[in-house]
């Protein structure tokens, strides 16, 4: 594949994630090109079924090639990359059409609604030789990059136990209306599918290990909801909360928790990692630092300065480990961070991949399919109230 100096992109679905991450990421590529001489990037077309949004975004960005039909995008021969920023039930059909047209793809998570569909996308992209990216945004959080460096570098030794939480709340959980997006047909699941892909990916990326078995419990607390802007009610067919225990290759275990009922909170994303030689505490709310206890001396020190509470017989402390600030290189890996406008987008990494680089941080359709496989296993485990081993058979799930 010859490296092109000018890359044209079409964005399909010009809603929240397109505006927040994909479009700014592509625009950033041109700043980057001025600095290091990479290819220039042009957003050349927009597609959205919502004509009003489409026209408004076209006017805002000065783009005249606008269509409500993604098939028209596939027929545009000069388009190199398509960004798929639509709801999950459309990712498979749009991606398969893009692959058939030889386009490179940056697709949002979850990659598809089910593992067989995600695997089909992954296999087709591989066969066609197109480059892929998946919106596992949180790899780009500077503290997550530092955790990846520490774990893969062996600073924590052998990883024994992990706890990964990603939840979202608010004040109106119980009263929230039903929307198409809050159905299994459109999204595949609730917080397990909205938030879970990020955490499954992060644990796989940090440890370099695949998940080999899961045991899950899903709960739907509010069983019926009223449709948004309508008078009628319907049964809810997605979970409000999902908790699962996962075994990874080796002896690592991880407890995952995803929920949309954490009253009065926004997005809460935290991971704890405990290994034979150290531990770390990651919190998305503190993106530029980690709490970590590394090396034999530090492990002893942390244990000894923990305040022993004779009443409870426990070491109790608000801040158990010293704070490690994130090195500058990880902040710089976030597009726009140096310019004071951070944007967690894989657009620059995908463009670099088209130019012959292999950005280690870039999640591909392979990562998307592996995460999807875990989500399907979690649904199966919860439905059948049993452990489910992975890999699943992609033909029969």
Ligand X SMILES: NC(=O)c1ccc[n+]([C@@H]2O[C@H](COP(=O)([O-])OP(=O)(O)OC[C@H]3O[C@@H](n4cnc5c(N)ncnc54)[C@H](O)[C@@H]3O)[C@@H](O)[C@H]2O)c1
Q: Which residues make up the interface to ligand X (CB under 6 A)?
A: 12-17, 47-50, 53, 70, 85-88, 90, 108-109, 135, 137, 194
Instruction: Write down the least CB distance from residue 86 to ligand X, Å.
Output: 4
Joined together, the tokens standing for residue 57 give 């975004």
Q: Which residues contact 37 (CB under 8 A, 6 or more apart)?
A: none
Closest approach of ligand X to the CB of residue 268, in Å: 15
Token representation of residue 291: 């709490």
To ligand X, the closest distance from the beta carbon of 249 in angstroms equals: 26
H/E stretch holding 303 reads helix 295-305
Cβ proximity to ligand X: between 83 and 207 the closer is 83
Give Cα 12 to chain centroid, integer Å.
19
Please answer whether residues 72 and 47 qualify as being in contact, where contact means their C-beta atoms are separated by less than 8 angstroms: yes
Cβ distance to ligand X smaller for residue 321 or 373: 373
Contact assessment for residue 376 and residue 216, using Cβ atoms and an 8 Å cutoff:
no
CB of 8 to ligand X, least distance (A): 18
- Closest to ligand X by CB, 50 vs 317, is 50
Shortest reach from residue 233's CB to ligand X, in Å: 23
11 versus 162: smaller Cβ distance to ligand X: 11
Q: 12 or 375: whose CB is closer to ligand X?
A: 12
Nearer to ligand X, 163 or 186 (CB): 186
CB of 69 to ligand X, least distance (A): 8
Closer to ligand X by CB, 110 or 275: give it. Answer: 110
Measured from the CB of residue 109, what is the shortest distance to ligand X in angstroms?
6
Torsion of CA 368, 372, 375, 380, to 10 degrees: -170
For the bound state, the minimum distance from the C-beta of residue 199 to ligand X, rounded and expressed in Å, comes to 12
Task: Kindly report each contact of residues 114-118 with a partner whose C-beta sits within 8 Å and lies 24 or more positions away, as own/partner.
Answer: 114/188, 114/372, 114/376, 114/397, 115/369, 115/372, 115/373, 115/375, 115/376, 115/392, 115/394, 115/397, 116/394, 116/395, 116/397, 117/92, 117/372, 118/92, 118/365, 118/368, 118/369, 118/372, 118/373
Taking the complex as a whole, the smallest distance from the CB of residue 397 to ligand X amounts, in Å, to 20
Q: For residues 48 and 376, which CB has a smaller minimum distance to ligand X in the complex?
A: 48
On the question of a cis peptide bond just before residue 110, with omega within 30 degrees of 0, the verdict is yes
Separation of CA 234 from chain center: 29
Question: How far out from the chain centre does Cα 281 lie?
Answer: 19
Strand order in the sheet with 40-47: 65-67, 40-47, 6-12, 81-84, 104-107, 132-134
- State which residue, 38 or 135, has the beta carbon closest to ligand X: 135
Q: Residue 309 has which token pair? A: 């509470």
Q: Which residue's beta carbon is nearest to the bound ligand X?
A: 15
Q: Please provide the size of the chain in residues.
A: 397
Residue 235, H or E segment: strand 233-235
The rounded distance, in Å, linking the Cα atoms of 274 and 319 is 16
């Amino acid at each position: 594949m010859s490296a092109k100096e000018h890359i044209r992109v079409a964005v399909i679905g010009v809603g929240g994630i397109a505006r927040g991450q994909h479009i700014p990421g592509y625009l950033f590529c041109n700043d980057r090109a001025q600095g290091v001489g990479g290819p220039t990037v042009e957003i050349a077309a927009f597609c959205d079924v919502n004509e009003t949004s489409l026209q408004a975004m076209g006017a805002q960005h000065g783009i005249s090639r606008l269509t409500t039909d993604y098939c028209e995008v596939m027929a545009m021969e000069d388009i190199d990359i398509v960004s798929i920023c639509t709801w999950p039930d459309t990712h498979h059909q749009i991606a398969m059409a893009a692959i058939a047209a030889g386009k490179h793809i940056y697709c949002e998570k979850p990659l598809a609604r089910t593992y067989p569909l995600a695997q089909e996308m992954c296999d087709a992209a591989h066969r066609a030789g197109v480059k892929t990216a998946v919106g596992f945004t949180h790899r780009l959080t500077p503290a997550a990059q530092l955790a990846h460096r520490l774990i893969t570098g062996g600073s924590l030794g052998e990883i024994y136990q992990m706890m990964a939480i990603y939840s979202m709340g608010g004040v109106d959980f119980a009263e929230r209306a039903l929307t198409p997006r809050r159905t299994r047909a459109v999204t595949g699941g609730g917080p397990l599918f909205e938030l879970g892909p990020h955490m499954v990916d992060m644990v796989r990326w940090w440890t370099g290990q695949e998940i080999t078995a899961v045991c899950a419990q899903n709960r739907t607390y509010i069983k019926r909801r009223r449709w948004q802007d309508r008078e009628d009610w319907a049964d809810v067919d997605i979970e409000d909360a999902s908790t699962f225990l996962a075994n990874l290759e080796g002896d690592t275990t991880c407890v995952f928790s995803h929920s949309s009922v954490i009253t009065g909170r926004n997005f809460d994303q935290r991971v704890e990692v405990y290994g034979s030689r150290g531990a770390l505490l990651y919190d998305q709310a503190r993106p530029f630092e980690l709490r970590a206890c590394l090396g034999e001396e530090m492990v002893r020190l942390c244990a000894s300065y923990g305040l022993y509470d004779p009443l409870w017989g426990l070491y109790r402390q608000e801040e158990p480990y010293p704070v490690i600030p994130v090195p500058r290189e990880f902040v710089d890996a976030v597009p726009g961070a140096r310019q004071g406008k951070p944007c967690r987008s894989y657009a620059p990494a995908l463009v670099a991949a088209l130019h012959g680089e292999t950005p280690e941080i870039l999640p591909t359709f392979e990562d998307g399919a592996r995460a999807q496989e875990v989500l399907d296993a979690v649904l199966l485990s919860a439905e059948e109230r049993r452990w489910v081993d992975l890999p699943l058979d992609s033909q029969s799930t």
